[in-house]
Amino acid sequence: MKEIVDYLHQIEEEMVDLLEQLVCYESPSTRPDLTEKIGRYLSNIFIDMTGGKVEKLFSDCYSTHLKAVWGEGDKQLLIITHMDTVWPEGTLEVMPFSITDGKAYGPGTFDMKAGIVQALFAIKTLKELNIHLDKKIVLMMTSDEELGSPTSKDYIIEEAKKSDGVFVLEPSQGKEGALKTARKGVGTFEIRVHGVPSHAGIDPEKGASAIEELAEQITYLSSLTDLEKGTTVNVGLIDGGSQKNVIAEDAHAVVDVRVQTKEEMNRVVPLIQNLKPHDPNIEITVTGEIYRPPLERTDDIERLFEKAKSLAHDYLGIELIEEFTGGGSDANFTASLAPTLDGLGAVGAGAHAHHEHCVVSEMPKRSALLALLLIEYGK
C-alpha cells in the first residue's frame, strides 16, 4: 500500500503534464466535434498507460462516450468521469492553463479533468506495480454530464448494475476535500399557460390573462419550497404576452426543483404536474421530470465512506470528512444500484467559476486513495 503512495508522489509531474494536455483540449458539452477530439486523445492515452481496451458508446446527439476496461474478471468495479466542461470554446484565451502557488488553474481543471488524470494514474499504478485484481475495472468517460447526462445515463446505469462498487471522480468539497455522501435530486419543469387574448381597452372582460394565471401559479410553486427538508422549487425563468394592450394569450415558466429525499420527491412532483388553473378559460400544460433522483446516504454508502476514511488515515495522513451537496452528479443514478462514493476527484475550488483550480500536491494523494479503494474492493 505504501509503495502505491510513494510511486504516485514520484510521478506528480507526469500527472500535471497530462492535466495540462486535457485542459488544452477545450470540451464544452454542446460541441460534439470538440468532445470527440478529447475522447480520441483519452482513448489512446488509456491504452498507452494501462494496456487496456476502449469501447465507444454511441450517443445520438452528443459525442461518443468511452468505456475503458482494464484487467479481467466476471465481476467489476466502476469509475465514473466526464470529459465535458461548462466552458465555451475560446475560454483558454482568457483563462489559460497556469500553475500559481501549487494550484493548477484553467477551464475544467477542477471539474473534472484532474479527476480523469487521477483515475488514469490510479490504474497505471496498479499495472506498473504488478498488482493483480480479481475484478475488472471499468472507467467511464462521458461527454454530456454537464447537461444532466441525457445520453450517457442509460450506459452508466447498465454498468452500475454489474458493479460491486462505484467511484465517482467529481471534485471533492471544501478546503479539506470532503467526499460527497449525499446529493440532492434535480429536476426541471416547464409550465405553459394558454389563455384567451383580447383588447385590454375595448374588451377586457372577454380575455383570460395567461400572465395573471402564471403569476398566481408562481406564488403557489414557490410555496412548495421547504428549506428544512431540503426542498427548493425555484421559478427561474418566465416569459409571456405579446403587447401591452393585449390580454396575454401565452405565458411560460421554467422551474428548477431540488429534493433531498425520495419522500419529498414524491410529495412535490405530483403537485407540480397537476397544477390546476384558477380560471376555467385557461389551460395549463406541465412537462418535465426529476432527471437525477436524490442520492440518499445509505448503509452501503456509509460503509464505503468509512473504508475510504480509514485508508486515507492509515496511508495518506488525511483525515477524510464527508459532506452533503445540493448539486447533482452521475452518482445520483448509481447510488441505489451499487455502493457509490462520490467526490473522489480533485481538491480545489471554483467549479464553473473563473477561479477554477485544483491543488497539485493533492493529485497523487487522491489518485492513491482511489488505487487503494480499487485494491480493497477488487479482491
Residue span binding Zn ion (CB under 5 A) among the ranges 109-117, 120-128, 256-264, 318-326 = 109-117
Binding part of the chain for Zn ion, among 65-73, 101-109, 168-176, 312-320 by CB under 5 A, reads 168-176
Least CB distance to Zn ion at residue 268 (A): 25
- The residue type of 230 is G
HEC profile of 115-168: HHHHHHHHHHHHHHCCCCCCCEEEEEEECCHHHCCCCCHHHHHHHHHCEEEEEE
Stretch that binds Zn ion, among 95-103, 108-116, 195-203, 212-220 (CB under 5 A): 108-116
Note if the bond before 140 is cis, omega within 30 degrees.
no
SS3 276: coil
- C-beta of residue 192 within 8 angstroms of C-beta of residue 285: yes
Based on the shown chain and the rule CB under 5 A, indicate whether residue 111 belongs to the binding site for Zn ion: yes
Under rule CB under 5 A, residue 330 binds Zn ion: no
Q: Can residue 112 be called a binding residue for Zn ion (CB under 5 A)? A: yes
The answer to whether residue 119 forms part of the interface with Zn ion (CB under 5 A) is: no
Which of 170, 322 has the CB closer to Zn ion?
Answer: 170
- What is the SS3 assignment for 98? strand
Short-list 334, 297, 281, CA closest to 157: 334
Judged by CB under 5 A, does residue 264 bind Zn ion? no
Dihedral angle computed from the Cα positions of residues 319, 323, 327 and 330, in that order, rounded to the nearest 10 degrees:
60
Stretch that binds Zn ion, among 29-37, 84-92, 170-178, 240-248 (CB under 5 A): 170-178
Q: Which single residue brings its beta carbon nearest to Zn ion?
A: 111
Is the CB of 92 or the CB of 147 nearer to Zn ion?
A: 147
Which CB, 80 or 268, lies closer to Zn ion?
80
State which residue, 328 or 364, has the beta carbon closest to Zn ion: 328
Please give the distance of CA 149 from its chain centroid, rounded to a whole number: 8
Does the footprint of Zn ion cover residue 169 (CB under 5 A)?
no
Q: Where are the alpha helices (DSSP H) in the chain?
A: 2-10, 12-24, 32-50, 91-94, 114-128, 153-161, 210-223, 262-273, 299-311, 331-334, 362-378
Nearer to Zn ion, 38 or 272 (CB): 38
Q: Give the nearest distance from C-beta 279 to Zn ion in angstroms.
A: 43
Collapsing DSSP to helix, strand or coil, 109 comes out as helix
Question: Which residues 126-155 are close enough to bind Zn ion by CB under 5 A?
Answer: none
Residue 356 near Zn ion by CB under 5 A = no
**In terms of CB distance, is 111 or 362 closer to Zn ion?**
111
* Footprint on this chain of Zn ion (rule: CB under 5 A): 111-112, 170
